[in-house]
Amino acid sequence: MTHRHSTAVTAASFLLLSGVALTAAPAAFAGAPGGTYAGDRNSDFDGDGYDDVLTGAPGGTDGGRKGAGYVTVQYGAASGMGTATSIPRVRTAVFGQATAGVPGSAEAGDGFGTAVATGDLDADGYDDAIVAAPGEDEGSMSDAGRVTVLYGSRAGLTPARSVTLGSAAPAADARFGLAIAAARLSGATPGDVLAVADRAGASLFTYGAGSLEGTDRLDTAGRNSMQPASLTTGNYDGDAYADLLVTGSSLEEDYRPRSSLYMGAADGPAYTRSLGGGSATASGDIDNDGYDDLVYGKPDKPEDENEPLTGGSVGVYLGSEDGMDNVDELGTPTQVWTQYTAGVPGTAELGDGFGADVSLADVDGDGYADLAVGVPGEDVGTVADAGGVRILRGSAAGLTAAGAKSFDQSSAGVPGTAEKGDRWGGQVRLADTDSDGRSELLAAAPGENTDDGVVWCLAASTNGTVSTGSWSYGGGSLGASGIDARFGTSIDE
């Protein structure tokens, strides 16, 4: 079994502004709260069994305030997801701080939607949406940051029930909410625990007695001198609790990417060890052995900086009964992938950004989680930084290049034209919005059309991701202002 070491955790109080009281879902619609595995996350805000899609547009205009930001929701259905004008039409919604019932005020530069996450915080069977605004000011403290929770219900997300959270000790430029995640990290609550990162660490919130309360503080800066940048959760040892990985930059190693692993336990997550890291992380069961595996993307440098490799890399850690105890003291990943790796489409070139974003889910229904890798700096022909996405398949041995696929805006069936600086694949997400056991690919280019932002949806089949029938949409397709919105900056896993 995994040996967990004690961690120095500082208890803290947190600021909370709440809307109306919460009510439980009818039993007939209630799901299973408190998921521990990455595959348990389905962003199902209305409890109908279909994945819903939560997308952030932090540059968007809300309430007349440019850069206040907003999020959109596309509810899944038997026909999959769509837009406000799709045929068949599906339900969509837009939320910002100017929306009636949502706490706070829409202000220029808030960046509402910079990061998004979902989890069933109140254990009512409906997933809740967590939205970060790290540019939110607290009094005279600029960019202190806040996080808003929109609770799910049979009707979907309900702004009238939303709450806002802030740091116990807000500080200028802390950017509270720069990364967020939720999962069943402890036994203190039947629902999911919310983790919110800022530049000095991460705060944990649990739901009890009708409200969210701050409980613990994970001091990553003090433990291993790391400034957080990304959070992911998964059950890496197969016990009753999800585990939390905090990834960021080491303040003592020239900002080299590092990660801190906190293993879930009945009394809360405990620091276990340090691992390698990157700017993007994802969890899922790649080898279908019952243990979640961990992937990180390092788009700027190769894993072994002594080798003449360029263009970015992806590292893989395979979970086990002992969690990550099988990893050596240096935190060496089980597998490292680059565009130099045999079978991986493309050629590694400086600035490709291979691993700028990563997402894990089963795209072909074979039971193995597959990996989508964003390569936003990839050149398409002579078009610089047009961007692309690579799909690597999961197998019993881990990731494999057998059957690997490559997509970009020059691929047959993909709408649009590859243009300089599009950076297609800056965000990637795999989501099963039609509940057929195969996840579609969402590939975003937040800088498309001079920072308006566009998301492309590529279908899933028994042969995996296919470009036939692909379609694209922006914030304007969902009833919001698409101008300079940077739509697709964040898409929930």
Calpha distance 326→320 (Å, rounded):
8
Structure confidence at residue 206 (pLDDT): 95
Q: What is the pLDDT of residue 321?
A: 95
Please check whether residue 480 is in contact with residue 94, taking contact to mean a CB–CB distance below 8 angstroms: yes
Least confidently predicted of 81-85, 175-179, 206-210, 320-324: 81-85
Q: Give residue 221's pLDDT.
A: 61
Range of the domain at 436: 283-475
- Residue 351 token pair: 């600035």
In a domain, 226, yes or no: no
Please determine, for residue 136, whether its predicted confidence score (pLDDT) is greater than 50: yes
Burial of 229 (0-12, 13-18, 19+ CB in 10 A): buried
Structure-model confidence comparison of residues 395 and 201, the more confident one? 395
Encode pLDDT of 89-117 as tens digits: 679 999 999 999 999 999 999 999 999 99
Total structural domains in the chain?
1
Q: Is residue 38 part of a domain?
A: no
Provide the pLDDT for residue 84.
64
Tell me if 151 sits within 8 A of 128, measured CB to CB: yes
Residue 304 lies in a domain: yes
> Which of 30-39, 204-213, 383-392 has the weakest average pLDDT?
30-39
pTM of the model: 0.90
Q: By the 8 A CB rule, do 422 and 452 touch?
A: no
CA dihedral angle for residue 459, residue 462, residue 463, residue 467, rounded to 10 degrees: -10
Instruction: Please report whether residue 396 resides in a domain.
Output: yes
pLDDT, tens digit (0-9, with 9 covering 90-100), for 199-243: 989 999 999 888 899 989 987 765 667 889 999 999 999 999 999
Tell me which of 17 and 64 has the higher pLDDT.
64
pLDDT-derived band at 460, boundaries 50, 70, 90: very high
Mean pLDDT score, 272-283: 92
pLDDT, average across residues 417-438? 94
Residue 311 lies in a domain: yes
Distance CA 179, CA 132 (A): 8
Could you report the per-residue pLDDT of 343-379, keeping only the tens digit for each? 999 999 999 999 999 999 999 999 999 999 999 999 9
Within-domain flag for 458:
yes
* Token code pair at residue 291: 């243990």
* 276 has a pLDDT exceeding 80: yes
- Among 18-32, 413-427, 439-453, the range scoring the smallest mean pLDDT is 18-32
Q: How confident is the model at residue 36 (pLDDT cuts 50, 70, 90)?
A: confident
Mean pLDDT (whole number) for 287-293: 97
Instruction: For residue 220, give the H/E element and its range.
Output: helix 220-224
Q: What is the 3-state secondary structure (H, E, C) of 412-448?
A: CCCCCCCCCCCCECCEEEEECCCCCCCCEEEEEECCH
Question: Is position 323 within any domain?
Answer: yes
The answer as to whether 73 is a domain residue is no
Q: Would the pLDDT of 24 be above 50?
A: no
What percent of the chain has a predicted confidence (pLDDT) above 70? 89
Average of per-residue pLDDT values in the chain? 88
What's 420's domain CATH number? 2.130.10.130
pLDDT digits (tens, 9 = 90+) for 461-490: 999 999 999 999 999 999 999 999 999 999
The band of 306, judged by pLDDT with boundaries at 50, 70 and 90, is: very low
Lowest mean pLDDT among 109-113, 270-274, 354-358, 395-399: 270-274
What are the tokens at 182? 């939720």
